[in-house]
Amino acid sequence: MKKLKKITITPYLKFTRKRWKYLSKSIPLELIRNKDISKFKKIDDEISINEINKIYIPISKLINFYVNANLSRQIVLEQFLGTNNIKIPYVIGITGGVAVGKSTTASLLKILLSNLSKHRKVEIITTDGFLYSNQILNERKLMQKKGFPQSYDMYSLEKFISDIKSGVKKVTAPVYSHITYDIIPNKKRIIIQPDILILEGLNILQNGIDYQNSNNHFFISDFIDFSIYVDAPKNLLKKWYINRFLKFCRSALSNPHAYFYHYSQLNQKKIIKIAQKIWNKINKINLEENIIPTKKRANLIITKGYNHSITQIQLRK
């Protein structure tokens, strides 16, 4: 008797790079020209026009469909309920492991979504700003858990995202510096009713337990309209993290106030060894325990291969 082929049931539509490229041909797209590439190079000097045209522009077009549908729904609800026209931003969440390229993805989408509709205002906020300060992390013996759920001020993050989705006109967020590796004291980002807010960070699809008040926990994802998980094999994530660590050390070489300055005084072999140790003892554990388990909550999963090129796209049905 012939064996029946096992059917794998999945909530995602899967597209290879090639299939996604051809699928996008069915949608009229305004492609990026050579003269426009400079603004994208400022974000990532390794990004190619081909990658933007074939992968990122179709993704931005897809997200724009969701944004337009949400806007239409808001208008219908306001007419039905007779409520005032309160502007509620559309929130896009971007998550994934350390060094996977979340910030690059967020910046690319900000430019592309802004270009798709000139009158729309797009802002980016990173949840790094809601980490506790290094002083507090040291006091609570959490410096070796930086980036783990318990290292975030979940009360402040909850208030920020709640205010955004409540239509509060002016919302502030703390600012994080990758130079000092700490929160910048007394500095705030002011967000004034964007049409689209891109929220980027390690923890946006995690269960938002407030570790200082165990009775207070929420899901940031409840406030997110569309979520993206940027994925890559662990060996590549480790490699990219070490490369980023080296880059931070090079940029800190002449700045004694930079967090990475003391590492920059070492030879490259020692720096790589330290970066490997940090990856194995902190980032790898956080990835496996807290980040990867949230992948299947995402609306869109984009998987990267070598050179950060996207190899697969999965869209929730």
pLDDT at 27 over 70: no
CATH 3.30.750.200 fits 14-234+298-316, yes or no: no
Strands 170-177 and 196-200: unpaired
DSSP string, 73-129: HHHHHHHHHT-------EEEEEEESTTSSHHHHHHHHHHHHHHHSTT--EEEEEGGG
Confidence of residue 47 (pLDDT cuts 50, 70, 90): confident
> Any idea what the Cα angle at residue 312 is, between residues 197 and 272, rounded to 5°?
80
- Provide the edge-to-edge strand list for the sheet that holds 300-304: 12-16, 310-316, 300-304, 226-231, 90-96, 196-200, 122-126
> Using CA atoms, how far apart are residues 117 and 120, in angstroms rounded to an integer?
6
pLDDT on residue 46: 78
Q: What is the mean pLDDT of residues 115-136?
A: 93
Higher per-residue confidence, 216 vs 160: 160
* Placement of tokens 């050179």 in the chain: 307
> How many other CB atoms are there within 10 angstroms of residue 108's CB atom?
22
Question: Which residues are within 8 A (CB) of 213 and not within 5 positions of it... i.e. 6 or more apart?
Answer: 155
260: tokens are 């990475």
pLDDT at 169 over 90: yes
Domain boundaries, the chain: 14-234+298-316
Q: Identify the H or E element spanning 228.
A: strand 226-231
pLDDT in tens, 198-229: 999 999 998 766 555 656 667 899 999 999 99
* pTM across the whole model: 0.93
